[in-house]
Structure 1
């Protein structure tokens, strides 16, 4: 089968198509013919060796896929054959390999996919959908004014909608460029501010009527310090940008002086098999019932994985970017 790998760290050009044996479904596993594979920003960082963890080489990226069960291993119900499923590879002991024509996954982790939800939409609801879903479980938006950075991206576009659905008082979107701002507004944000504007901090404060309760920081880096400037006294910054934490001691001391709180967010520790399946099933139903809109920004054939990474790395993408084998 065809798969994408990188055998050295570097730019998008290090991604290459290779021929590897098609995996066999082991005991308790299913073999899934991939219909779509999702791409995430942390995979871009891994490829460049800029992530919190350095992967072993060669690396076969891809932590989420969706497709059709083509074979079952020993002990697996044969009625799963031909079923449409989501394959959240990121919860496995070997959480990669999704940029490929086939993947295997434990049968108990393969989540049934309603006919009304496409393979591409399923990919958008795994890492990114579950992140948005559980961010709001850990720090609810109900009756609060909240800031959603990167609001036109995979997580942000879902977070805007889910926060509105949870009963946020006001959702303020932060994004770059008119097209992304318009998208955030169309998804339910009451205000959208361009982070490329020199006065965006003032813009956010004005949009929040000088009272911002929560920032969902999925960006990190130097932006985190700026987010503290717009957060109100007593507000909460939820940090969900693993590997990009850059707050200084003076930043933390200023937080204390303003009675602000910092909450960390890591998705994987929250996902037992039961929680994973229940959460994904709930998200799938929201899409199937038309209550959650998925933005598929770009689709690339597998041999253009480098172009897909380049699009994300240059922050030109909106919504979810997927590979189609």
Structure 2
């Protein structure tokens, strides 16, 4: 089968398609024919060795796929054969290898996929959907003004919608160009602000009667984090979910203390139990199936185009989820 790997760190060009033996499902596992594999920004960072954890080489990236069960291992219900499922590889003992034509995963981690949800949409609702959902569970937006940076991205586009459904009084979206701002507004944001302009935090305060946002969900990190503090209300909360892209200095933390502001860390994996993972994914799939949650797909690429897919994401040209699809078909 075809799979994507990198054997050295560097730019998108280090990704290469290789032939590997097809996996065989062990006892308790299912074999999935991959129809769509999600690409996440942390994989871009891993490829360049800029993530918090340096992966071992050779690395076969990809932590989330959706497809059809093609075979079952010993002890697995044969009725699963042919089922449409989502496979959150990141929750398994073999959390990588999704940029491939086939993968195996424990059967109890394969989540049924409603017919109304495409394989592509399913990939967007795994790492990114779960991140958005759990960010809001950790720091509830009900009755508060929230700021969502990178609001047209995979996580941000879902955060905007879920924050609205979970009772935020005002949702402020920040993005980097007009098309992205328009997308955020179409998803339910009350205000959309270009965070490329130097004084963008002033516009956030203007939109909140001078106070700033009560909660900022920071999935971007870097220099944006320190700037975001200028848009945070006194007593507000900065929720940081950009592992490896830290941007706060000691002076920033001292200033936060003086304004009674809090910094809350966020890491997804420690929040996920097997049962909780299935329940949360099922909730997201049902929201999408009913039309209450819109999934934006920002780019579709084949395995052979994995380098270009990474390049588009790294250059922040994508709106929504970037996916690898089988033979150009995601449905």
TM band (smaller chain):
over 0.9
* Structure 2 CA distance for aligned equivalents of residues 112 and 128 of structure 1: 18
Deviation at 1:222, TM superposition (A): 1.2
Greater mean alpha carbon deviation, residues 112-121 or residues 201-210:
201-210
Give a deviation string over 1:270-296, Cα, whole Å, max 9, x none. 100000000000000000011000001
Give a deviation string over 1:40-64, Cα, whole Å, max 9, x none. 0000000000000000000000000
Deviation at 1:2, TM superposition (A): 0.2
The residue that corresponds to 1:298 in the other structure is 299
1:142 aligned counterpart, secondary structure: coil
Give the alignment's Cα RMSD to 1 decimal: 0.6
1:123 aligned counterpart, secondary structure: helix
The count of residues paired between Structure 1 and Structure 2 equals: 325
Deviation at 1:238, TM superposition (A): 0.3
Q: Which runs of 5+ in 2 are unaligned?
A: 327-331
The residue that corresponds to 2:286 in the other structure is 285
Deviation at 1:315, TM superposition (A): 0.6
Q: Which runs of 5+ in 1 are unaligned?
A: none
1:232 aligned counterpart, secondary structure: strand
Give the TM-score normalised by structure 2. Answer: 0.97
Deviation at 1:199, TM superposition (A): 1.9
Moved over 4 A (4+): none
Residues 227-246 of structure 1 mapped to structure 2, 5 A cutoff? 227-246=228-247
Tell me if structure 2 keeps the 8 A contact 1:2–1:17. Answer: yes
* Structure 2 CA distance for aligned equivalents of residues 38 and 271 of structure 1: 19
Deviation at 1:140, TM superposition (A): 0.7
The residue that corresponds to 2:170 in the other structure is 170
Deviation at 1:246, TM superposition (A): 2.3
1:107 aligns to 2:107 (yes or no) = yes
* Structure 2 CA distance for aligned equivalents of residues 88 and 57 of structure 1: 22
The residue that corresponds to 2:227 in the other structure is 226
The residue that corresponds to 1:96 in the other structure is 96
Residues 33-112 of structure 1 mapped to structure 2, 5 A cutoff? 33-112=33-112
Deviation at 1:113, TM superposition (A): 0.3
The residue that corresponds to 1:26 in the other structure is 26
* Structure 1 CA distance for aligned equivalents of residues 205 and 231 of structure 2: 6
The residue that corresponds to 1:214 in the other structure is 215
* Structure 2 CA distance for aligned equivalents of residues 293 and 125 of structure 1: 10
* Structure 2 CA distance for aligned equivalents of residues 44 and 66 of structure 1: 20
* Structure 1 CA distance for aligned equivalents of residues 178 and 251 of structure 2: 34
* Structure 2 CA distance for aligned equivalents of residues 201 and 286 of structure 1: 32
Tell me if structure 2 keeps the 8 A contact 1:172–1:208. Answer: no
1:253 aligned counterpart, secondary structure: helix
The residue that corresponds to 2:329 in the other structure is none
Give a deviation string over 1:158-204, Cα, whole Å, max 9, x none. 00000000111000000010000000000000000001112211111
